[in-house]
Amino acid sequence: MKFSADALFKERVASYYAEVRKYTRYMLNDHLLFVLVFALGAILYYYSGWVQTIDETFPAPLLMAVVLAIVLVWSPVYTYIKRPDTVYLLPLEEEMKPYLQKAVWTSFAAQIYVLVALLAFSMPMYAAVKQTGFGSFFVFLVVLLAAKLWNLFCRLEALNLPSNEKRMIDLVVRLLQNFALLYALFSGYMAIAGLAVFFMLLWLFHMGRQGNRPLKWELLAELEEKRLASFYRIANMFTDVPHLRGTVSRRAWLDGLLPGPQNGTHTYLLFRTFVRMNEYFGLYIRLTIIAVFIILFSGTMAVQLIAALLFLYLTGFQLMPIAVRHDYIIWPRLYPAGNTEKKAAVQKLLMRVMLIQSILFGGLSTINGTLSGAVIVLAASLVFSIFFTKIYAPSRLEKMSSVR
């Protein structure tokens, strides 16, 4: 049978999105959509009020150029290459060009929604500063989409470069060229924007010559594995992903804060799982840091309160899959400890980590707010943590057990 790059690509895309849909139906259920809609509504409400306070001195073109240039330079090419391809497709490398071209266009279609959303979000700010309407939106959008394609084709050629250092040079050059084009475009310097386009075309030609090498099969397979693992880590926040391979760090400096074996088998196991597995501990640290920044840079009690409650919910909700983390291992089942003890251990873990966040959020609210507002944030956070762990978590854990 003759090899068909088109047929292989269609099969890989269909297989990938079937896997994505399998987990997405678990991710977009329960209360997550409600929380996201509530958070988006709150952000848009305060954003619309903030836009009315800015004037023509606000550097909207600079801010938009920086943010959108960073988003543009993040242009991974979804090749769907698997580890066995490094052996079985190697003799067919010359016939893979149509496959990779389709990979670029599929990646383009999968990533442009971020650009459209960010541009639409930025336009009210831009219109308020420039005292114009939204007529330039479609011109900006066309330029952004063309720049996205340019970044993707440059990235495809960069994947064949012989070292990470050269790929990093390509990344930096593309970032600077994206910024120059967008800042000139948003500021109305069309001659400079045209000059930036000229240099971008030169760079694409240069990358085409530099990337005219044999495919880096191992690199392509590794990048795809990392991308799929990232999706699995996100999906694992909402449902159990059996084949997710997490990374582990000892973190011996936290041993003194962990309960001993006399506190119960599952308590001993789950507390150490949380501290030593990067997917849980890293998630907790990231959510806490994001909430801390929002609280510190917000001067209104309402925003601080919404941020505190929202991130407490996200922390508790996304840590609950730890309850079934070890269900595929036989050894925990050998201990005379049932599901009741395991649920109690999960509740104890959630209570402890959420109380730490509550105290932190309440304390930080005093820095850029009032004492009374900080007390409200602290009290509401503590009440929410108790409600979540004592009322919501048991029913949620029971539902997770029944699904299994």
97-134: pLDDT as tens digits: 889 999 999 999 999 999 999 999 999 999 888 888 78
Gap between the Cα atoms of 363 and 165, Å rounded: 43
What's the pLDDT band for 204 if we cut at 50, 70, 90? very high
285-314: pLDDT as tens digits: 888 888 888 888 776 788 889 889 989 998
Assess whether pLDDT exceeds 80 at residue 240.
no
Q: Any idea which of 188-202, 206-220, 281-295, 329-343 has the lowest mean pLDDT?
A: 329-343
The residue written with tokens 């959510």 in the block is 287
- pLDDT of 169: 93
Residue 243: closest CA among 229, 257, 260? 229
- pLDDT of 134: 81
350-365: pLDDT as tens digits: 999 999 999 999 988 8
Q: What is the mean pLDDT of the chain?
A: 85
- pLDDT of 186: 93
Contact between 207 and 157 under an 8 Å Cβ cutoff? The reply is yes
What's the pLDDT band for 386 if we cut at 50, 70, 90? very high
State the first-to-last Cα distance of the chain, in angstroms, to the nearest integer. Answer: 42
Dihedral-angle region of residue 165 (phi above 0 means left; psi in -120 to 50 means alpha; beta otherwise) = alpha
Residue with the bigger pLDDT between 258 and 109: it is 109
Gap between the Cα atoms of 342 and 103, Å rounded: 45
Rg (CA), the chain: 25
* The residue type at 37: V
The residue written with tokens 């505190």 in the block is 308
Assess whether pLDDT exceeds 90 at residue 324.
no
- pLDDT of 331: 62
pTM comes to 0.71
Residue 389: closest CA among 303, 325, 312? 312
Q: 3-state SS string over the chain?
A: CCCCHHHHHHHHHHHHHHHHHHHHHHHCCCCHHHHHHHHHHHHHHHHHHHHCCCCCCCCHHHHHHHHHHHHHHCCCCCCCCCCCHHHHCHHHHHHCHHHHHHHHHHHHHHHHHHHHHHHHHHHHHHHHHHCCCCCCHHHHHHHHHHHHHHHHHHHHHHCCCCCHHHHHHHHHHHHHHHHHHHHHHHHCCHHHHHHHHHHHHHHHHHHHHHCCCCCCHHHHHHHHHHHHHHHHHHHCCCCCCCCCCCCECCCHHHHHHCCCHHHCHHHHHHHHHHHHEHHHHHHHHHHHHHHHHHHHHCCCHHHHHHHHHHHHHHHHHHHHHHHHCCCCCCHHHHCCCCHHHHHHHHHHHHHHHHHHHHHHHHHHCCCCCCHHHHHHHHHHHHHHHHHHHHHHHHHHHHHHHHHC
Contact between 170 and 154 under an 8 Å Cβ cutoff? The reply is yes
Q: What is the mean pLDDT of residues 323-347?
A: 71
Q: What is the mean pLDDT of residues 43-55?
A: 83
Domain range summary for the chain, segments of one domain joined by +: 5-234, 252-403
What's the pLDDT band for 256 if we cut at 50, 70, 90? confident
Q: What is the mean pLDDT of residues 192-216?
A: 91
Residue with the bigger pLDDT between 12 and 22: it is 12
Both structure tokens of 24:
């997405």
What's the pLDDT band for 35 if we cut at 50, 70, 90? low
